[in-house]
Each structure stands twice: as structure tokens, then as C-alpha cells.
Chain A
């Protein structure tokens, strides 16, 4: 049986599944339930200075649905904890004492002034928490007060605050990054320069989920008005995966521990984050959608998969896919594939035909009796037909063996690696040596 135990910055937890800082971790009651359900750790709902913030008193979440009201994405206009600091600290201390084997991280967001940070850190230290996470992420509400994303979008501030914290506390410092920037590597590098031990990402994405077309108000609507909120859930996973990989690949930040967040819903999502360089994952929306029990599926699924693949421990998975993330210019242009349709599996819906004929390369033929076939002389191997086919593995991409002729280009397929940097059409091509 694979060992799921996790060691993140020396913080030990029985598994790599933590609950992200959010409503599921807002108070002792929830966190104790989470630990009973088997979560490896929590990042407590972000604490701020007293007097505590107030939330809106109308709806704070919006939703994007798939089939059967499956929640694909959610957004929120919630702020950091709206309970007094002292109450949170007391509960954190009690939970940590009762659950010493679970990771207890405290998320913090206070004004961008050194005294504020120096004031709160000893109070957190006193709870016995294992570490802190600096919330530079919230895209709404707090950013208007010069906190959250307002800090996370300015690398200099990140560096400065990270440094204040490192100077003040013995606890490991995790910087939580906002995705609402153009290049995630800059804030990550700043965190590293400031001495942070790790980064976690992503926080929520600035968003409007929908507009009520009767009232013309964005949702969630507060008295006929709406405000942009933070988007999360399965829909944001691709954005998060890319950002995690960017940081894992960047020579300046490579090796810095990453806590992966954003749309983790199943063991598979978690394994993907790990493979791209995250050492553990944090979960919010999936727990808010299905309850704490989902961690059971995550643990058993990850364990089963690791056994099947022969990975004994989490660190053997971490970063496995990073070497395969490259830049476009290094992709092998001699890798030639064609779509292949399995006639046995085809259910004759014709979606591949409509997609290719209307919007791609007219590379699928349709007979009077609805037999669909790929025309090799037209197929550019774009993958659209594979994507739109409702039957898994009915259409596949098959590589043309070296030596055969690509009917589209008339060229013999080579088994040599050749990329854009070497291509004759590239004005700045360097001849292949």
C-alpha cells in the first residue's frame, strides 16, 4: 500500500489533502468534523485584525452549472473571517491540541504595515499552529482596502511582507498567490526573494458568473447590484495547473515547495497537481459541494493509482510531469498523427463531421448510410473530432510510422526530432547541427 503521508516544509500530515482557507475551515466545529472525516490538514479561514470584517447579508455565492445542475464553477463575494480574532485563536489552539497529527496552518491578511504583521504573528504562534499562509489572493472586498489581491498583484509588496513575517516568526511561511496577474512567475519569485518557504496557488479568479436578465443584475445579487467575485471549482483547474507548472519550471523558483489549489475534486485532479510539482493539494469547492466525505475517495483513489504505478510515496509522484512541460517552439514537428475512427464504436452521431466540416479542415467524409471516415489528405490532426466525439476512445490519434508518406503534405515521415527553432519557415531558424 502506497504511503500517503505528507511532509510539507517539515509539517507532517497523514495525507496530502488539506482543506483550503475558506468556510469549511472557519471554525472549530467544521474543522473537527473535517479531521474526523480524514482530512490531512487545514488552512484556517483567513484571520484579520479586529474589529472583524462584516459580510453582506444577502447571497454571497454564484454558480456555473453543467448537466443535471452539476456545479462546474462557483464564485463568492465573501470576505475573510467575520468572527473576532480572539475566538478564532482560541479555537485553533484547542483543535491543534486535540489533533496533533494533523496540519494546522493559519491564513492571515492584515494591512500592509509592518506593525500589523508583527502584532498578529505572536498571537498565532501561541496557538501551536504549524505554519502561516499569507493571503495575497482575495480578488474582492479586501483588495479595495489595500489587502489580498492588491498586495498579491505587486511583487515588491509580496517580497516585503514575506520578509517581515520571516523575520518575526519561527513558523514556516506560505505565500498564497492570486491568479489575477499576467505572469505568475513574478509574484512567485518575489515570495522566494522575501524568504517565503513555499507558495500556494491559486486563489480565486476575478469573475462575474452570470447576469439575471430580468433584473439586469449580476449574480449573486445584493439588492439589485452585484460585484465581481472569486471564481473557483472544477472550471479553474486548468488555469491553476498551468500556473503551478510555470513555477515548478522557472529556474528561479524551481524546487520551492508548492501547495496546489484550484478545482481539486477527485484523486485524479490531485495526482495531476502533484505531477506538475505541487507537494500537496488544498480543496475548497469540492468539499463545499459534496461535504467532507469526498476525501475518502481521494485517498483511496490516489493510493490505488500509486500502487498500480509502483509509486511508494508522495514525493515519488511530485514533479514527475514537469520535465514534459515545454515551450511550443520545442515541440517535435516530425510527430505526425492522423485521426482514426473505430467503426465498431461509432454511434453515427456525426458530430465529428459537423465540427470538421464547418470549423476545421473538411477531413471527415460522410456516406449516405452515415459511415464517417477520415480523409488523410486533409487531416491536420487537430484533435477536434476526438474532443467532440461523445464516445470515449472511438476516435483516436495514431502516429504515422517513420517512412510512410503523409497524404496531406506528400512528405515522408521522419523519426528525427525537429522543432520550430530549426524549421526553414522560421526567419530566425538555426540550422540543425
Chain B
């Protein structure tokens, strides 16, 4: 090994291959049979359970946990997948600490919720390991639906439509399906090529054709899709990224966090990935956390997250913050970037403290400089390439009801549609619900 965390600038292979492999293994060890039974036994089988209400896809959590308790993980998986066809991925990436597990009465009682996410993973992994796909298609309807974007929203929509007997064609700009499951989610949350395996498993339902490398606006148009299909679903996510708008943004080493993560997710060899010695991540969401943690795991010496507001305002949950802190990531709150300093390549980030005056964020005048060979921008994604013909609101596609856009016969869901949190599970719920609505409409 030639490089180390102390190698100046941006360099690959700061850690040896074994350490890298260890750093990027499963965040949580999967539960084994016994651990699952013990964890499942803690569920109280609540009446009208608050965990169900808290789940965007309304999974009947107490029922699936009871099915685990009685030795029927396959039946439990079916209960989960009935509501959420990407239940396997959601079990890994959902911020359960702000969803079902926050609502769990045992969180209120003891501060220790039932391990709903890990139990869900146990059930779905058990079923998927058998290669079983427990859904079959209804009789063919002869209807055809186009789905743009093969991320969680598009996949959930396509699967539900296929199940109802419709034929689906998916168009995705990228070379692989899966959306951010494949290109965005932190590597240690979905190890072992799970995203790809899940897509393959999902497609076992049949009746779904996936056309990759097909971008709406480049290779196909909305008009064309409307003409060729009975309905169109838009699940194109947020392909654009926000710019900082500060001087020095064009310097080498100032990168988009999503692009950095995408490279990491697609890397065959983690040791080939370059990372800065001193990394500064700007932002406060999951992307910022993931970029920071993974920089650290790649061997950066220092990683600092710079967030312009206080900790309590940070979109990333306390759990995510603590995870990052446990990996050695430092947080600086109430500070905003002023300038990426450097001669060609960035060498430092100049920043200034802020105060929430009640009248917006105001700079305090206190300026400081952080050494930085790499600055990762994670200040939000934007809708890019939305087709003309659908109305937008707040930069996203406006929808009413179960994802109906302003254009007749066009639905939208997931990150690209207004409303709902930008989460995998929310995208699944919206895709599924739009499919039900499309089905009703087509069969009316």
C-alpha cells in the first residue's frame, strides 16, 4: 500500500483492501432465526397499531411479526410484500427511527422499539433466498402502460400494474434499473448487490419490459408515450443537483455528493476510488451523511459536515448523525460556505457562522477556514427534464389524489412528484397507489 489517510490531496487506496471490505460490510448483521424469534416476541400485537399508521406503505407490522413468531417467515414476507414490493430494500434503508420504530409503543415504554426493520429484513430475505416470487398476474387486460424511471416509484407502480394484468414498458435513462437503490443508497445499507437482485426478483412477475438507456426528452417524448400507451407514469426522481452559488465552485475537487456516491456504488474496486485527505461535506440530509460516512470509510483523514442551521433542524435523523459521529465524522452546525479556496484545485473551504434571527439565517461575521482537498455538495436534488405538458408546483410535478398530474392519462410519483418525504418507502407507496388508480381508470 502506497497511500494512507495522510497522503495529501485526493488519492485512491488510502486503506488496504481488507480494511475497505470490512468498512463496507452490512451496517446491521442480519438476524438469525433465534435472534428473530427473540426480537419478534417483543411485539405486543397492538390494536390498530401505531407502527402501521407510521409506515408510508401501511404494512401490517404486528401481523407479519406474529407470523415470524409462529415460524412462518415466508408468510410474514408475503404480508410485507403485499403492501410494499420493495420491502426488502425498505427493511435496509428506511429511517425506521423516524417511522415505524418511532411509533412503536415499546419506544414510548422503554426507549427500545421492536426491531421492525430488521425483522422485516429477516422475513423478506428468507423468502427471497428461496427465489420464490409469491405473486401471479391476473388475466391479461390488453392495456399497456409506460413507466418512466425504474426507481422505487416506477418499480412499485410497474409491479402492481403487471399484477393486475396490464403490460408495462419501463424507460430508464441509466444503464441499470433500480434508481437510487442502485446508484444512491449508502453501500453498507445494501451490500452484496442487493438492489440489482431485488429488481430481478421483482421482474419475475412477468409482463414488464425494461428499456434502459432511454431518457424521456432525449429518446422518447411524453406525447409519443401518451399516443402509444393507455397510461403513463412518471417516476423519474430528481436528476438535477442544486448549485452552491459560491465562488470557487468550479475548482477541481468540488463535487456533487450524489455523483461521488454513484461512482462508489458502481465501483468494482473500492481501492481504486479517490478520496480527499480532508473532506468537507456541505448539507444536512441523508445524502450529506452518506457522503461523509463513506468518505471516512474510504480512508479520508478528516471529514466535516457543514450545516447551515442547528442540529435540531437537520433533516438527517439523530440516529444517522450518531452513526456518522461513530465513524469519526465531525459536524459543524450553524455555518455556511463562503468560498472554495485554492489555485486550480481546492485546498480549503472558507465558511462563516450563521445565526437564526427569526428573520432568516444571518451571517454572524465570524469567518473560519477548513482545510479541504475535496468538497462534496449535498444541498438537495432538483427535478431535471420534466416534460412540458405537466404542471409543476414548487419545482416538482403537481399531483392530486393518487398521483394524477395535470395531463390526462399521466400519473407521477416518488421524488419527482410534489408532496411526501423523499424516501424510498414513500416512493413505493406513491407508485403503488398510482398503479391502483391507473387500474381503476383503465378498467372503468
Residues of A within 8 A of B (CB): 67-69, 347-351, 353-354, 366, 370, 390-391
Contacts and interface: CB of A to CB of B under 8 A. Distances in A.
A351 B41 CA distance: 15
A354 B47 CA distance: 6
Contacts of B174: none
21 contacts: A67-B38, A68-B41, A69-B37, A347-B105, A347-B106, A347-B108, A348-B50, A348-B105, A349-B44, A349-B46, A349-B47, A349-B49, A349-B105, A350-B48, A350-B49, A351-B44, A351-B45, A351-B47, A353-B47, A354-B47, A366-B47
A362 to B, nearest CB: 14
A348 B46 CA distance: 8
Given A67-B38, A68-B38, A347-B105, A390 B50 contact: no
A177 B50 CA distance: 50
B109 interface: yes
A46 to B, nearest CB: 36
Nearest to B41: A67
Interface string B26-61: 000000001001100100111111100000000000
Contact of A350 (B34, B47, B109): B47
A391 B109 contact: yes
A370 B38 contact: no
Contacts of A350: 46-49
A353 B46 CA distance: 10
A347 B106 CA distance: 7
Contacts of B41: 67-68
Interface in B37-93: 37-38, 41, 44-50
B419 to A, nearest CB: 23
A350 B44 CA distance: 9
Contacts of A370: 50
B31 to A, nearest CB: 13
A353 B50 CA distance: 14
A370 B50 CA distance: 9
B44 A390 contact: yes
B7 to A, nearest CB: 49
B109 A347 contact: yes
A278 B50 CA distance: 47
How would you classify the secondary structure of chain B's contact residues: helix, strand, loop or mixed? helix
Q: Which of A347, A349, A351, A354 has the largest count of B CB atoms less than 10 A from its CB?
A: A349
Contacts of A347: 105-106, 108-109
B5 to A, nearest CB: 43
Nearest to B48: A350
Q: Which of A69, A350, A353 has the largest count of B CB atoms less than 10 A from its CB?
A: A350
Interface string B309-323: 000000000000000
A68 B40 CA distance: 10
A348 B105 CA distance: 6
Nearest to B40: A67
A77 to B, nearest CB: 25
Interface in B95-152: 105-106, 108-109
Contacts of B37: 68-69
A64 B255 CA distance: 60
Contacts of A366: 47-48
A146 to B, nearest CB: 41
B372 to A, nearest CB: 47
Contacts of A349: 44, 46-47, 49, 105
A390 B106 CA distance: 10
Interface string B380-419: 0000000000000000000000000000000000000000
Contacts of B109: 347, 390-391
The 8 closest A-B pairs by CB, nearest first: A350-B47, A354-B47, A67-B41, A347-B109, A349-B46, A347-B105, A349-B105, A349-B44
Q: Which of B34, B41, B44 has the largest count of A CB atoms less than 10 A from its CB?
A: B44
B208 to A, nearest CB: 37
A347 B44 CA distance: 11
Nearest to A358: B47
Q: Which of B44, B45, B47 has the largest count of A CB atoms less than 10 A from its CB?
A: B47
A320 B306 CA distance: 70
A68 B46 CA distance: 20
A367 to B, nearest CB: 12
Contacts of B46: 348-351
A282 B10 CA distance: 74
Given A67-B38, A348-B50, 8 more contacts: A68-B41, A347-B108, A347-B109, A348-B108, A350-B46, A351-B44, A353-B47, A366-B47
Contacts of A67: 38, 41
Contacts of B50: 348, 370
A227 B200 CA distance: 49
Contacts of A348: 46, 50, 105, 108
Contacts of B47: 349-351, 353-354, 366
Q: Which of A69, A354, A390 has the largest count of B CB atoms less than 10 A from its CB?
A: A390
Contacts of A353: 47
Contacts of B105: 347-349
A366 B49 CA distance: 13
Nearest to A353: B47
A351 B47 CA distance: 6
B381 to A, nearest CB: 35
Contacts of B44: 349, 351, 390
Contacts of B34: 69
Nearest to B107: A347
Contacts of B38: 67-68
A68 B48 CA distance: 26
A67 B243 CA distance: 54
Nearest to B53: A370
A68 B37 CA distance: 7
A67 B34 CA distance: 11
A366 B45 CA distance: 16
A313 B281 CA distance: 72
A67 B41 CA distance: 6
A94 B275 CA distance: 77
